[in-house]
Each structure stands twice: as C-alpha cells, then as structure tokens.
Amino acid sequence: GLIEQALRHADMDTEFRLAFQPLVDIRSERTVGFEALARWTSPTLGVVSPGDFVPVAERSGLIARMSPVLLSWALDAAKTWPEDQRLSFNLSVRDIASPEQIARIIEIIELSGVDPGRIDLEVTETAVMRDFDQAARSLAALKALGVRIALDDFGAGYSSLSYVHRLPIDKLKIDGSFMRGLGAADKRRAIVKTILDLCRNLGLDCVVEGVEEPEQLVLLRPLGCRVVQGFLFARPMPGEAVAGYLAAER
C-alpha cells in the first residue's frame, strides 16, 4: 500500500520525531515521567498517525530498523531530563519476537548511559500472545538489565490474567477506552476499580490512560489511582517543550 511504500523510502532523521506525553501523580499533581510517541510527517502523505503506520511497519518488518532509532532518540531526550523523570517507550510485537532485536535494544540502553531503572518498556498483550515463550525470554533479558516492563492497553484485548503472573510485569496501563465518557454509574468504573485493586494486591504499579475530564479524576481518586496519563494534564509535546513544562510545574 501507499503507507508501506512511503515508509520504505522514509528518511527517519527528517521525517520522524518523538512527542512526549507526561504521566502524572494525581496526589502531588506532578509529572513523574513521559511516554515517547512516534510522529511521522511523510513528504508524500503528510502527517500519518502511529495507529496507521505502526501496524504497517510491523507487517513489513520495517519496524526492526525503526525501533532502535526511536529508542536512541528517546534515551537522548531522557538524558537531558531531571533524574527523577522516567521514560516510557513502546516496544513492538516484532521487537519482542526477535532475540537479535532484544540484544540490540539492550546494547542501545547500555550505551546511552541512562539508568535502566528509569526506563519502562511497554508491551501489549497481543505482542506477548504471538509467541509466549519468546516473549518471556525477551522480557526476562530486559528485566535483567534493570528496566521495568509495563503491559500496555490493559483490558482492551484478550487481557489474560495469566500473563500478569507468568511474565515479569511491573506495571499495568489501563486502556484509555475505560475513561471515554466515563460516568459514576458506569460499569467500567467498577472494572477500573477491580484492576486497581488487582495491582495493589500484586504489588504492581498502575497507570490509568486517557483521562480527559476533571470529573474522571474525581471518580478515580477514591479508587486508589495514583498515576494517570491523558489530555487533561497534557497532550504529547515536542521534546524541546519538556524542560519548560517541568519548570512551570515546580
């Protein structure tokens, strides 16, 4: 298709950049880290969203050369942040499925000089499902380096709880679909509460994604939610905006 064609000829350095979205502790209302999100402006197609190009990059195998570049950019950015700020980076199903790619990713993190303890690598359930045994080996190798593993889009797909105990998961990110238009009487509120309780009982960190309205925060606070990500606090921003954003908060 058109996207694959443009992606195949894309010049990463000029066409791609990262945006960074804050993760916010709702008790202190302070930013605790940023998720790196890929952005692409193609000379032929214009702005293409990652929801459209990431699946194409995965199917075509092009993601194999993109992930290392994006990760090194994300680490370069994190190096300039205060040390208490974490970096979240999305790994693709293809990354997780390849021992060679995992070795490359580990090397990039080691060479970056960023403390692996500051890094969350996000994986989706679909990525893990594809080849469980290889995913388990990949995550174990990454964990050994000292990074933390987050299960992304939790609750959106097949959400097998077996992954949570069979894999070295540190954090669940509750899918943004649970927040969209959420009201007090909504069943989804009970589901979010149950996932937050699960995290507490298992000693996992938890992030509620897609928080857009102050009313959603009012609903989340009594459920024991600590960290959220969403347009209510900030949209993804260019790397150059991060320092000013943090300074304004302090």
Q: Is 125 in the site for ligand G (CB under 6 A)?
A: no
Q: How far is the CB of 176 from Na ion (least distance, A)?
A: 6
* Cα angle 22-203-229, degrees, rounded to a multiple of 5: 15
For residue 194, which of 180, 233, 202, 157 has the smallest C-alpha distance?
A: 202
73 versus 81: smaller Cβ distance to ligand G: 73
Q: Is 120 in the site for ligand G (CB under 6 A)?
A: no
Size of the site for ligand G (CB under 6 A): 21
Q: Is 101 in the site for ligand G (CB under 6 A)?
A: no
d(CA 169, CA 150): 6
Burial class (CB in 10 A: 0-12, 13-18, 19+), 44: exposed
Site for ligand G in 160-189 (CB under 6 A): 176
Scanning 46-54, 130-138, 204-212, 222-230 for contacts with Na ion by CB under 5 A, the matching segment is 204-212
Site for ligand G in 66-95 (CB under 6 A): 70, 90, 92
Residue 197: C-alpha distances to residues 60, 113, 190, 249 (Å) = 39, 35, 10, 30
Q: Is 153 in the site for Na ion (CB under 5 A)?
A: yes
For residue 231, which of 14, 22, 81 has the smallest C-alpha distance?
A: 22
86 versus 201: smaller Cβ distance to ligand G: 86
For residue 121, which of 99, 98, 100, 145 has the smallest C-alpha distance?
A: 145
Residues 6+ apart with CB under 8 A from 111: none
Q: Is 50 in the site for ligand G (CB under 6 A)?
A: yes
Q: Among Na ion, ligand G, Mn ion, none, what binds residue 37 when CB lies within 5 to 8 Å by partner kind?
A: ligand G
Q: Is 37 in the site for ligand G (CB under 6 A)?
A: yes
Q: Is 54 in the site for ligand G (CB under 6 A)?
A: yes
Beta strands 119-124; 148-154: pairing state: parallel
Q: Is 22 in the site for ligand G (CB under 6 A)?
A: no
Cβ neighbours of 22 (radius 10 Å): 23
Q: How far is the CB of 175 from Na ion (least distance, A)?
A: 6
List interacting residues with Na ion (CB under 5 A). 152-153, 209
List interacting residues with ligand G (CB under 6 A). 21, 37-38, 49-51, 54, 70, 90, 92, 152-153, 176, 209-212, 229-231, 236
